[in-house]
Amino acid sequence: MNGTHLMPEKAQFFTTSARPGNFGDHIDFTATIDNWFDENRIYNEHETDIRRTQIYLLNAVVYGGLLNFARLYAIGFIGRLNGWTRYDRNTYMEVDISGLPPGEVLQVVWNGTPVFVRRLTAQEVHQENHEYPTETILDKAGQVVLSPAGNTQVLVCSAVCTHLGCIPIPYLGTYNGWVCICHGSVYDKFGRVRQGPALQNLPYINNSIYENGTLLCIEALKFPREPSVAYWS
């Protein structure tokens, strides 16, 4: 008591909008700020990782496309260079077939392998394709390739039987083609096997005809898809 006025023993504070009720309470500003930075750092690192991954993927697509384009360009360029030397010149061989009459067979040795050269007339080609039954052809997937030589066609095939490697004899058998006297395999004039035990046709040998059908050039192909005149059974 001081005079007539009563003095409170403890200071009183009144709560207003400017003075909240917890005014003066301890606030850990350091912990709050650290938590804020930690949360944003984690978020920013995650976003950065995503962006980095996107950049890596974009670079992979761009550089991968460029490398693939360069590879295709190199393959095409090298292919054009190889096109100038389409054949293996070490296996090149010229054969004069000017004296080979239609229907006859010439046997030569090319690259250490015996080879049959047979000149066929248009009538023989028609007969082989239309008159003889196709049911007796054992190797139906085999391809027959004939080279045009004037008004005739020339067949160049291996002279080795596809059974066990004997050399068939021409002008024999039902089809007047080849017959292997070792085990009895029969081939027609196109070198297609008609009777076993052989199951494959006589392999085609790549060739070209020049000088109006008088010069036969045999070469090993570097590219097996060389265009030529093909007759399918």
CB proximity list for 31: less than 8 A, separation 6 or greater:
none
- Taking phi first (over 0 means left), then psi (-120 to 50 degrees means alpha), and beta for anything else, what does residue 179 get? beta
Q: What are the pLDDT tens digits along the chain (233 aa)?
A: 455 555 555 555 444 555 555 545 555 555 555 565 555 555 555 666 677 777 888 888 888 888 888 888 777 666 655 554 455 556 788 889 888 888 899 999 988 889 999 998 888 888 887 778 888 888 888 778 888 887 888 899 999 999 998 999 999 888 889 999 999 999 998 899 998 899 999 998 888 888 788 888 888 765 444 444 443 33
CB proximity list for 231: less than 8 A, separation 6 or greater:
125, 129, 144, 145, 146, 190
Q: Which residue shows structure tokens 């950049």?
A: 55
User: Are the beta carbons of 116 and 170 closer than 8 angstroms?
Assistant: yes
Digit-coded pLDDT (tens) for 112-137: 889 999 998 888 888 887 778 888 88
Cα distance between residue 186 and residue 178, in whole Å: 6
Q: Which residue shows structure tokens 């020049």?
A: 210
- Taking phi first (over 0 means left), then psi (-120 to 50 degrees means alpha), and beta for anything else, what does residue 112 get? left
In 3-state terms, what secondary structure has residue 198? coil
User: Per the residue annotation, which of 26, 46, 126, 183 is the catalytic one?
Assistant: 183
Q: Is 5 a catalytic residue?
A: no
